């Protein structure tokens, strides 16, 4: 059955959805996006996603005011129209459609569209034990902005899959940054959660932020600092965090088993806390 999608104020069947060939998202990746998960019809950490969306827009000088209430209504409407219970909503805003020019024009009306996906249900029912490989960092410098400049990560993720693993983790100047579409963390042998600080080299993940709050409030020490692949290999546990995978264990990196090759107690605790306590609306 065809999905119902939202494009610039209109509800249409996905086969009927169109964008201009001059949309700057197509010509320059001049667009930002958010993916918000919903479980039993409830949006997870929606306000935080909208705050990051507004931050991304401001950083790109894109003139679009984020009306949280209006966008929340659209999110719930698209869930209802597609008769879904659990899944995710993808939202994208571009600077709009205008003849190709490197100089942008903020008088053009932005493009807004949303659609749903259903893979989250599988991630809830059959959690992956992630196996990853490291790769040199190839993305642009402004990784603190959630833009649609995702080609480098698409190439890296596909190369990882073709190598027989689930994902890739980037390394820059000898230090881990993050995975292709998730933040990456380790747990040392003392049980401390170690995560790279928000120093511009990684996305300020919404799930990452929630995980750190839950860790600090529930007896898990947190260290925000850069770490090396060698530290990863010797870690007691490792995990990724993202909107659609929540907090998921990484059990192998570059062919080396992490810990005992299973989800460890700290990651298990944080995943359970997240699914139990993440704000829902």
C-alpha to C-alpha distance for 58 and 64, rounded to whole angstroms: 9
Quick one: tokens of 79?
């869930």
Tokens of 26: 């197509």
| Residue in 128, 146, 159, 262 annotated catalytic | 146
Note whether 196 and 169 are within 8 A (CB). Answer: no
Q: Is the pLDDT of residue 124 over 90?
A: no
pLDDT tens digits, one per residue of 171-220: 999 999 999 999 999 999 999 999 999 999 999 999 999 999 999 999 99
* Short-list 182, 189, 143, CA closest to 160: 182
pLDDT (0 to 100) of residue 121? 78
Give per-residue burial for 159-175: e unless 16+ CB within 10 Å, then b: ebeeeebbbbbbbeeeb
What would the pLDDT profile of 234-251 be if each residue is shown by its tens digit? Answer: 999 999 999 999 999 999
DSSP labels for 36-82?
A: EEEETTEEBSHHHHHHHHHHHHHHTT------HHHHHHHHHHHHHHT
- For the segment 137-149, the average pLDDT, to the nearest whole number, is 97
Q: Which two tokens stand for residue 250?
A: 């990484």
pTM as predicted: 0.94
Residue 106's pLDDT is what?
95
123 pLDDT tier (thresholds 50, 70, 90): confident
Average pLDDT over residues 76-95: 97
pLDDT band at residue 1 under the 50/70/90 scheme: low
Q: What is the CATH number of domain 127-277?
A: 3.20.10.10
Instruction: Answer whether residue 56 shows pLDDT above 90.
Output: yes
Cα dihedral 143, 145, 146, 147 sign: negative
Q: Is 83 considered catalytic here?
A: no
- Give the start-to-end residue ranges of the domains of the chain: 4-121, 127-277
Residue 104 makes CB contacts below 8 A (sequence gap 6+) with 24, 30, 61, 95
CA distance 102 to 92: 20
Q: Which position has the token pair 């966008």?
A: 71
The answer regarding whether domain 4-121 maps to CATH 3.30.365.10 reads: no
């Amino acid at each position: 059955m065809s999905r119902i999608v939202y494009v610039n104020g209109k509800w249409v069947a996905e086969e009927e959805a169109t964008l201009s060939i001059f949309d700057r998202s197509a010509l320059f990746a001049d667009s930002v996006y958010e993916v918000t998960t919903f479980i039993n019809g409830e949006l997870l950490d929606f306000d935080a996603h909208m705050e990051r969306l507004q931050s991304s827009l401001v950083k790109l000088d894109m003139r679009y005011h984020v009306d949280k209430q209006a966008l929340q209504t659209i999110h719930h409407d698209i869930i209802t129209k597609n008769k879904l219970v659990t899944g995710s909503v993808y939202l994208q805003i571009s600077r709009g459609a205008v003849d190709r020019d490197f100089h942008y024009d903020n008088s053009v009306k932005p493009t807004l569209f949303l659609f749903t996906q259903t893979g989250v249900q599988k991630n809830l029912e059959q959690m992956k034990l992630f196996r990853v490989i490291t790769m040199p960092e190839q993305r642009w410098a402004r990784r603190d902005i959630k833009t649609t400049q995702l080609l480098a990560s698409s190439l890296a993720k596909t190369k990882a899959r073709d190598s027989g693993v689930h994902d890739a983790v980037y390394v820059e100047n000898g230090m881990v940054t993050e995975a292709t579409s998730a933040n990456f963390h380790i747990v040392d042998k003392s049980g401390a959660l170690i995560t790279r600080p928000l120093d511009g080299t990684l996305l300020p993940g919404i799930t990452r932020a929630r995980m750190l709050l839950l860790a600090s409030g529930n007896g898990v020490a947190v260290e925000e600092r850069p770490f090396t692949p060698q530290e990863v290999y010797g870690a007691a546990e490792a995990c990724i965090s993202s909107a659609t995978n929540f907090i998921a264990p990484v059990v192998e990196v570059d062919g080396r088993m992490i810990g005992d090759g299973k989800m460890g107690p700290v990651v298990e605790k944080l995943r359970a806390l997240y699914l139990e306590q993440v704000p829902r609306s």
